[in-house]
Chains A and B, each alone.
Chain A
């Protein structure tokens, strides 16, 4: 608004409460928007609507019983959460995981990463209004869920990765299913590219919106694709290789401008890289047991440990304090969604209401994880 006009017409900022009941807040999140017309002046995410007190719940359960609760943090990539938790407990109890189990864990974590990114593409598509763009990734994600269902009997809350290894060995059927999926994945991604990536409207919506510079990203403590889209090369799978990740050859896709488009493209590329890892892991699957010798009653020595794992949304960290009993004294979980969500205000300021939902989508928060 020009100076002359604003003298005549008095405008007022107003508050718009986006959520907790809103079609595109990915769960129950409230965003308090302060708007000037359609332009966002301030965006405050208000979370806590899905708080279940999982950290506290874990204190009253033994180390094995905590497993199902980690599934329920980031419920679209439960494998990665289990993975992080198990690694933390293993470090605490000084357990050595057999190599075969390590490989299987990598396979499952990467498959789950692909599934999670498919959800991201789908929810981003529906948030920019392309309903069909949502259906295709969700349809293809079913293939991964079917694999997991065959593997461990659950589609979302797997509890497959266990302390000391994995629940069961891969059956021939599961290996076949994974191979079939890997063969089809390329065509699936091409289809999303045709439908969404190449679409000019989609590009216009995403490019040059919600820019986060590398410094800002680091200051906010962003991790995962959010950080890499800003051009910071930080991937725990490479930088702090765990669970035999050093055996696999893969690239870490980076963005350069840190806008919504980069965040989308980085995830698109990551899917192919994940598939590459799964393929290598399946080909080089070592023989052996899938479970370490874990005592029936696990009493890790006194002490504390913080272990991080690269989840689909960023760094999943578990800080566990043990007092030498069967139950953890305290568990703190670094949930990447929560920390990434703090960038929302920065991403929305000065943009339009339509960009808020896109910014929300490219943060890709899972509210189960945000509220814990």
Chain B
């Protein structure tokens, strides 16, 4: 039986509802709804925290203070910005493909949120423990590239279109090294199931067994989330904001939401695959999980506010000519290692 804090809470809740209603089926239904709401709440709260954190980290790194006016320590700044964005005029470019242009921000959020279905937040606290968990994550995450392309195309703006094209090129180049770096982890574990991967790290975290895979994964995850040094899709100084150029107000906020959800995804994935997931001494699993995730988010932010941007050809060259061979080499090395390990024991 699982003993995580989240699971216990959920069990208590479900027992309570069960005794109130008395029908197991309805209880289960209510619980599913609650869990979905919980995931969205977690994402929204995490995004708000991340935006605040990004500004603060950026400010501190740049010898500034960052937002510190709205609310205590400026923590309500993101909320204030949300209100401002919501009250903004919704400008639709005259020549845009209205339908495609309109649905893109919403569609973009779906793959970003969908991957949370398979993340183990705590011992047993996993929405659906698919036996192809990792595969599902990779498959769903790569969907977001379509929205970038659609958004860029539908804006009828050359900058947006270049951004959309770049997004395709970049995601293709990043997905493959990432998949191969994850494969090394999967080979060690022998399972695609998220819970098994976390359980396999109860002794040693995979970051120590697979350091090369970890580095490749971090780099390709930075590409995946479009953050500096690989923020070519937005490429502020080159193509203004890439696919988001024509979006304003709430639509733009949705892009932003998806972007930070992706950052959270990146941090959660790194934590799950390499940093032992929710496992840790003394503190409850969920606390360890949050600590590790935010540590990873900090690392991503730290990288972002230090490095310049690469150029598109350099980024693709790096990805295909360096990361991919390294990842392949890592797989071979891991394969040999696993074979020797099995042979010896």
Contact = CB atoms under 8 A, between A and B. Distances in A.
Interface of A: 14, 16, 22-24, 38, 125-133, 135-136, 139, 195-196, 199, 201-202, 204-205, 352-357
B89 interface: no
B62 A135 contact: yes
Interface residues of B, number: 28
Interface stretch (B20-28, B280-288, B300-308): B300-308
Contacts of A355: 311
Given A131-B62, A132-B62, A353-B162, A201 B237 contact: no
A202 B63 CA distance: 22
Contacts, number: 83
Contact of A133 (B158, B308, B310): B308
A109 B270 CA distance: 52
Contacts of A126: 237
9 contacts: A14-B158, A23-B236, A24-B238, A128-B308, A129-B237, A135-B63, A136-B62, A201-B307, A201-B310
Nearest to B62: A135
B88 interface: no
B305 A132 contact: yes
Interface stretch (B108-116, B131-139, B205-213, B227-235): B227-235
B196 to A, nearest CB: 37
What DSSP secondary structure best describes chain B's contact surface?
A: loop
Nearest to A351: B311
A353 B165 CA distance: 13
B63 A129 contact: no
B235 A125 contact: no
A169 to B, nearest CB: 34
B133 to A, nearest CB: 33
B61 interface: yes
A1 B159 CA distance: 22
A186 B64 CA distance: 22
Contact of B312 (A16, A23, A38, A196): A38
A353 B308 contact: no
Given A127-B237, A129-B309, A135-B64, 20 more contacts: A14-B158, A16-B159, A16-B162, A128-B308, A129-B229, A129-B236, A129-B237, A130-B228, A130-B306, A132-B61, A199-B308, A201-B307, A201-B309, A201-B310, A204-B314, A205-B311, A352-B311, A354-B232, A354-B238, A357-B238
Contacts of A132: 58, 61-62, 305-306
B5 interface: no
B76 interface: no
A337 B92 CA distance: 38
A16 B310 contact: no
Interface string B126-162: 0000000000000000000000000000000011001
A130 B307 contact: yes
Contacts of B61: 132
What DSSP secondary structure best describes chain A's contact surface?
A: helix
B162 A129 contact: no
Given A126-B237, A129-B235, A131-B58, A205 B312 contact: no
Contacts of A127: 237
A205 B238 CA distance: 13
Contact of A129 (B62, B158, B308): B308
B239 interface: yes
Given A126-B237, A195-B306, A357-B238, A201 B313 contact: no
B158 A128 contact: no
Given A22-B240, A23-B240, A195-B306, A354 B312 contact: yes
A24 B241 CA distance: 12
Contacts of B162: 16, 38, 353
B18 to A, nearest CB: 53
Contacts of B235: 129, 354
Interface string B307-323: 11111111000000000
Contacts of A135: 62-64
A277 to B, nearest CB: 28
Counting from the closest, the 8 A-B pairs by CB-CB distance are A129-B309, A130-B308, A24-B237, A135-B62, A128-B308, A354-B311, A127-B237, A129-B308
A14 B158 CA distance: 9
Contacts of A136: 62-63
Given A38-B162, A129-B231, A201-B229, A196 B238 contact: no
Contact of A205 (B63, B305, B308): B308
A105 B151 CA distance: 55
A259 B49 CA distance: 43
Nearest to A135: B62
Contact of B310 (A14, A22, A205, A357): A205
A201 B162 CA distance: 22
Contacts of A204: 310-311, 314
A125 B63 CA distance: 16
A38 B315 CA distance: 14
A10 B329 CA distance: 39
B223 to A, nearest CB: 13
A139 to B, nearest CB: 6
B58 to A, nearest CB: 7
A201 B308 contact: yes
A128 B310 CA distance: 8
B63 A139 contact: yes
- For A16, A129, A133, the residue with the greatest tally of chain B CB atoms inside 10 Å of its CB is A129
B153 to A, nearest CB: 14
B306 A353 contact: no
